[in-house]
Structure 1
Amino acid sequence: MQGILSIQSHVSYGHAGNSSAVFPMQRMGFEVWPIHTVQFSNHTHYTQGWTGHAFSAQDIADVVRGLENLDVLKDCHAVVTGYQGTAEQCSVVADTVAKVKSHNPNAIYVCDPVMSNPAKGCIVAPGITEQLISTLIPIADVIVPNQFELAQIANMQISCLEDAVEACRRALKKGPKLVIAKHLHGVDNSCFNMMLATKEGIYLAKRPLFPITKEPIGVGDLITSIFTAGLLKGWTPLQAFQHCHDAVHGVLKATHKSGEWELQTISAQDELVSPSEHFPAQLVKEHSATFA
């Protein structure tokens, strides 16, 4: 059995955080053990507000300890993290990654570094961004930032393809083996652009943008989960990236057709395993000494 430990937010209604990430990984054939950093009624972009609360760092540590007591961490092949409710939770995540890898040295850590971006309506607690950059990103095998987060990690602005390549290069030097940059609007705002950066090369994939009045929440969580599942299937990073890119397009296409705000992950679940459209990724930067 290959288990995936997913530590991120959870909403009762809709698809964000674990509510976006868990089902796709299960649909792709994996057992998923979710631990919620927060539990809200819905995501925080609703004008009606939301209810719920963040869990303490100790709550998360207690659940991990319970899993360790069951002697199942040896079957954990990936730790996936997204939205963290407090800076203290980031420290528990770091401890959890170390604990999982002590039981299974082949386990990977996939970090979606969710940072405060008030312009997009994303607010995280004080200290989290600093913890992500100083503590979690250096120990991650894979990071999945959006353009804003990648710019913070690389400490530079991104306004063109060359900027995105350089930002990914800087991010790789901070420790991760793979970087998935999602929605690089600075590269071309007429398409949805995703970039895969490895030490062997950098690839760009483009797909159409849908004219959606309100941008769906949880797309990044969906990207992270599908890519993680692809890696655990034994696919190469490029194969996992290509599948992820095409599958997410399928879900967004179904969401657009439905007229709903929330991602239509359930009704479009076949896209998770057999995407109906293909948008080939292109190599934009080969391996060179600058990536060593």
Structure 2
Amino acid sequence: MLVISIQSQVVHGHVGNSAAVHAIQAEGVNVAAVPTTLLSNHPRYPTLRGRVLEAELVADLLKGVEERDLIDEAAVLVTGYLGSPGIAAIVADFVERALSRNSKLVYLCDPVIGDDGRVYVADGILDVVRHRLLPAASLITPNQFEFELLSGITIAETETLRAAAAAIAGQGRIDIVATGCTLNDTPAGQVETILSADGQLSRFATPRLPIRPYGTGDLLTGLIAAHLAKGTAIEAAVRLAVETIFAVLVRTQEAGSAEMRLVPLPTSGA
């Protein structure tokens, strides 16, 4: 079992691969982690060191992934924060080659674009995500803002959520896990993760805690990828991932930590 995960990496904190890799390994799945950035920390801190990697370096690392035949071994391919339009185009090329080479590969696209009503990625990345990565994906994991941005539909209830899912899928088949959702009928004090698969909705509500550490979406995506790599059905994979995330957040709140407390990761045992 192997997951290839292409996203950001930080020295301190848990975002991108610095969240996903530990989660995938804790679930007993091997991971080949390809960085798109190497930063000291996420942008919430007053200083930020490091940089988005050169597109040529990322391309070289991905060439090495192909040379080691990791695509043939992999069950799931994950993409997350891409860093620059050049990297986005190189990753899109790699995704196309990987899916052509391994027809059984599940491509999980986390369309990291923005949150809280604002886009925070470089100009040009959104176009690559929308026109190249989403059409190739088996599963995407946007937050509510990204879901609305990509679909062009404001999501307020299940009807508009279904319409947004249909708009993204077009004539194809894309399962969607929408995170951080609050709909008109979401119970007060709760937040939902909503799965749209095969025309059906599955909703997973948890209490909304008074903390917002960075990287929860990256952790969720990593956990879902790990469960899918082990052969878990999509609905069960999402449920198990949501349960683990909530356990991590409860422990983080109890510790009074600004960063998620991942170690040891509560695992499903599935």
TM over 0.5: yes
1:36 corresponds to = 35
2:228 corresponds to = 231
Q: Which has the higher contact order (CA 8 A, sep 6+)?
A: 2
Higher mean C-alpha displacement, 143-152 vs 244-253: 244-253
Q: Does 1:202 align with 2:201?
A: yes
* Aligned pair partner of 1:63 in 61, 64, 73: 61
For residues 231 and 67 of structure 1, what CA distance do their matches in structure 2 show?
A: 21
* Aligned pair partner of 2:153 in 152, 156, 166: 156
* Paired residues of 2:178 and 2:194 also in contact (CA < 8 A): yes
Q: Which runs of 5+ in 1 are unaligned?
A: 276-292
2:210 corresponds to = 211
Note the 1:16-27 alignment, pairs <5 A.
16-27=15-26
* Paired residues of 2:76 and 2:228 also in contact (CA < 8 A): no
So what's the TM-score if we normalise by structure 2? 0.93
* Aligned pair partner of 1:105 in 100, 103, 106: 103
What are the Cα deviations for residues 174-211 of structure 1, in whole angstroms up to 9, with x where unaligned?
64531000011244362120100012411111011112
Aligned residues: 268
- Secondary structure at the counterpart of residue 38 of structure 2: strand
1:241 corresponds to = 238
Q: Which runs of 5+ in 2 are unaligned?
A: none
* Paired residues of 1:7 and 1:80 also in contact (CA < 8 A): yes
Q: Name the amino acid aligned to 1:62.
A: D
Residues 41 and 245 of structure 1: is their aligned pair in 2 closer, same or farther, counting only changes over 3 Å?
Answer: same
* Paired residues of 1:3 and 1:78 also in contact (CA < 8 A): yes
Residues 15 and 156 of structure 1: is their aligned pair in 2 closer, same or farther, counting only changes over 3 Å?
Answer: same
Higher mean C-alpha displacement, 182-191 vs 77-86: 182-191
Q: Name the amino acid aligned to 1:3.
A: L
- Secondary structure at the counterpart of residue 19 of structure 1: helix
- Secondary structure at the counterpart of residue 251 of structure 1: helix
> What's the C-alpha RMSD, in Å, of the aligned pairs?
1.8
* Paired residues of 2:117 and 2:145 also in contact (CA < 8 A): no
So what's the TM-score if we normalise by structure 1? 0.86
* Aligned pair partner of 2:135 in 129, 135, 138: 138
Query: Share of identical aligned residues, percent?
Result: 30
- Secondary structure at the counterpart of residue 114 of structure 2: coil
Alpha-carbon deviation of 1:130?
Answer: 1.6
